[in-house]
Amino acid sequence: MTSSTKNVAFIGLGVMGFPMAGHLANAGYTVTVYNRTSSKSVLWLESYAGKSAKTPALAAQNADIVFICVGNDDDLRQVTSGEHGVLQTMKPNTILVDHTTASADVARELSALCESKQIGFIDAPVSGGEAGAVNGQLTIMCGGPSDVYENVEPVMASFARFSKLLGEVGSGQIAKMMNQICIAGVVQGLAEALQFGQNAGIDCESVIEVISKGAAGSWQMENRHKTMLQDHYEHGFAVDWMRKDLAIALDEAKKNGSTLPLTALVDQFYADVQKMGGNRWDTSSLLKRLV
């Protein structure tokens, strides 16, 4: 399919979807976009070549591949299997790629619907935040059949630096849950270390310069310590979104018998941040509740 893929649709022009769809347009694909708030589609068309549609179904009707990046399971169901969803018009032998961070259950549900219509399906949540989307440097975690993945991987490369097929449908979502579990623990540890250093009266910038080169180093330390020390949280991945993702992970943990005590604790710390009015602050705002 990739050699002949011309027409793609992108459903959801949020913080991530807007630039991702733009990379597809810049790569030479004919892109039709849909967004629930139509003004976002208008804005997108001012920046990129393509067209917009009034419903997901209309956006998808001529697409070889349909990409989706929306808010949650319910949003996903609405734009896929709803009255005006993409599955109303997608043709056999086309592919649906879901970049939403959602549950593994809804991924399997969508896969079954697609299979009944001879449509390929890949669950493909992303990591890298807004900066990764804008710079075309996302990491994509995928679940689904290998032949479907092989068809979409070169197209996803328009906005990704790395993608990998991790197993059957749902594997991508499980991997994203693991990703968020790791981030929650790392950010809390960084927040505590910075508070500890500030209380001790040491130059935290200088300390981070040293310890970031050793075993304590992380992406969060490298990219967020300065803004945390500056009390600047108006960027990156919002607390509301992180709590949504952690709720998905904690729910999945109940199903598979895992215990996530640290994740549950940090989730409550994020609830504290929300009570402080930090719903849209970046996830690094865990430091804010300590100082």
Alpha-helix runs per DSSP H in the chain: 17-26, 38-47, 56-60, 73-80, 104-116, 129-134, 146-156, 171-200, 204-211, 219-229, 239-256, 261-275
Contact 29, 7 (CB under 8 A): yes
3-state secondary structure of 185: helix
CA neighbours closer than 13 Å in the CB half-sphere of residue 113: 18
Annotated active-site residue 176? The verdict is yes
Rounded to the nearest angstrom, the gap between the alpha carbon of residue 238 and the centroid of all alpha carbons in its chain is 12
Terminal Cα-to-Cα distance of the chain (whole angstroms): 54
Separation in Å, CA 32 to CA 25, 27, 260: 9, 14, 41
Residue among 176, 213, 226, 244 flagged as catalytic: 176
Burial of 250 (0-12, 13-18, 19+ CB in 10 A): middle
Tokens 């810049």 identify what position? 26
- Residues designated catalytic: 176
